[in-house]
Amino acid sequence: MRDLSQTSSAEALNGGLFSDPLATSALLDVRTRLAHALQTTLDTGELLSLFFRYSRQLVDYNGLSYESESCGKFKLGHRAVHRCLYNMTLPDADLGSVTFFRKTRFSDDEQKSLETLLASLAFPLRNAQQYRQAMQMALVDPLTRVGNRAAMEKALEREHQLLQRNGKPFALLMVDIDHFKQVNDRFGHGCGDQVIAKVAKTIEQVSRSTDMTFRYGGEEFALLLSATGAAGALITAERLRRAIEKLKIRHADTAIAPTASIGVSACVDPAEPLTALVERADRALYSAKRAGRNRSCCEAPAHTLKAVTQ
């Protein structure tokens, strides 16, 4: 295993420690063309594919794997018995590790050539990581750290595509904190934020790991349930409603006990537009409000199920 440390990575990009080891026009040519190609994308997978294609023109190897905390795992080509692993870092970033695989051992000159080419990959990888993080943050609600409305729309589209491919239904819960304006008016918006954050955490704790929580707006949340019909979603809604009802949020000498109304609906028809699902769940939510709050109501595509109360 070799370590491309912060110092060596920086020097490599300036032609220092990793100066061209073979002193050949082939190495210079590949490195130049690779550097230009790496400037064309901010996608980690595409960067690695480009690196795989260009580097194999110089060093013949069977496969490559990449792993980082922020970008996950990627594999190109095939694994083999011999490997050479590099930890890549820059002064301001841990870029992850790259492993090369081959049926025969890498020579010292081949390893130095790979190190030279990896130095060209360092800053494009960092830029890709920063872009990925920025895109992820754009889909996160800063107060609750759950997905925002834009993230919800993307997730709904994915579930709809899965329904079209494999016929599995999915469900949507719209969750609204009851009488939330009174909390803000009486205790202030800071306390209101605490209540919102606590309810969001409760939704995530009660739901399955495959379910997705989003802040829809203000004191309203959405919970997207994969591979779930209306009946199963209503059971989840009641479990969630009871969990929220048990909350006690301390503010000064007062214990705030929030409740929530929940609207439920499911999508079972691949031809149905997503807007119809959201509208049904929203109508079910208002049915729960009109029925006295702190309850769950479900509206199915063809009929409305009886409200479930305490």
Q: Which of 77, 104, 137 is the last residue of a domain?
A: 137
Residue 306 lies in a domain: no
Asked whether residue 120 falls in the same domain as residue 167, the answer is no
Residue 266: what residue type?
Answer: A
The Cα diameter of the chain in Å comes to: 80
Residue 189 has pLDDT above 50, yes or no: yes
- At 54, which CATH number? 3.30.450
Total domains present in the chain: 2
Q: Per-residue pLDDT tens for 227-275?
A: 999 999 999 999 999 999 999 999 888 999 999 999 999 999 999 999 9
Domain assignment of residue 77, given as a range: 2-137
Residue 81 has pLDDT above 50, yes or no: yes
Q: Provide the pLDDT for residue 10.
A: 35
Q: Which of 83, 103, 137 is the last residue of a domain?
A: 137
Asked whether residue 160 falls in the same domain as residue 293, the answer is yes
Q: Which of 137, 165, 186 is the last residue of a domain?
A: 137
Which residues touch 291 (CB under 8 Å, ≥6 apart)?
297, 307, 309
Residue 282 lies in a domain: yes
Q: Provide the pLDDT for residue 59.
A: 94
Residue 213: what residue type?
Answer: T
Residue 287 has pLDDT above 90, yes or no: yes
Q: Per-residue pLDDT tens for 157-177?
A: 999 999 999 999 999 999 999
- What is the distance between the alpha carbons of residues 234 and 305, in angstroms, rounded to a whole number? 10
Residue 108 has pLDDT above 80, yes or no: yes
Residue 219 appears among annotated catalytic residues: yes
Q: Per-residue pLDDT tens for 33-78?
A: 999 999 999 999 999 999 999 999 999 999 999 999 888 899 999 9
Name the residue with higher pLDDT: 171 or 23. 171
Asked whether residue 108 falls in the same domain as residue 165, the answer is no
Residue 158 lies in a domain: yes
Asked whether residue 88 falls in the same domain as residue 176, the answer is no
Mean pLDDT of the chain: 89
Give the pLDDT band of residue 301 (cuts 50, 70, 90). confident
Q: Provide the pLDDT for residue 70.
A: 82
Give the pLDDT band of residue 310 (cuts 50, 70, 90). very low
Residue 143 lies in a domain: no
Asked whether residue 132 falls in the same domain as residue 63, the answer is yes
Which residues touch 98 (CB under 8 Å, ≥6 apart)?
64, 65, 66, 85, 86, 88, 118, 121
Asked whether residue 191 falls in the same domain as residue 277, the answer is yes
| Set 219, 220, 238, 245: catalytic member | 219
Q: Provide the pLDDT for residue 71.
A: 83
Asked whether residue 6 falls in the same domain as residue 125, the answer is yes
Residue 309 lies in a domain: no
Q: Provide the pLDDT for residue 16.
A: 39
User: Residues 72, 78, 82, 84: what is their CA dihedral angle, to the nearest 10 degrees?
Assistant: -40
Q: Provide the pLDDT for residue 2.
A: 52
Asked whether residue 94 falls in the same domain as residue 232, the answer is no
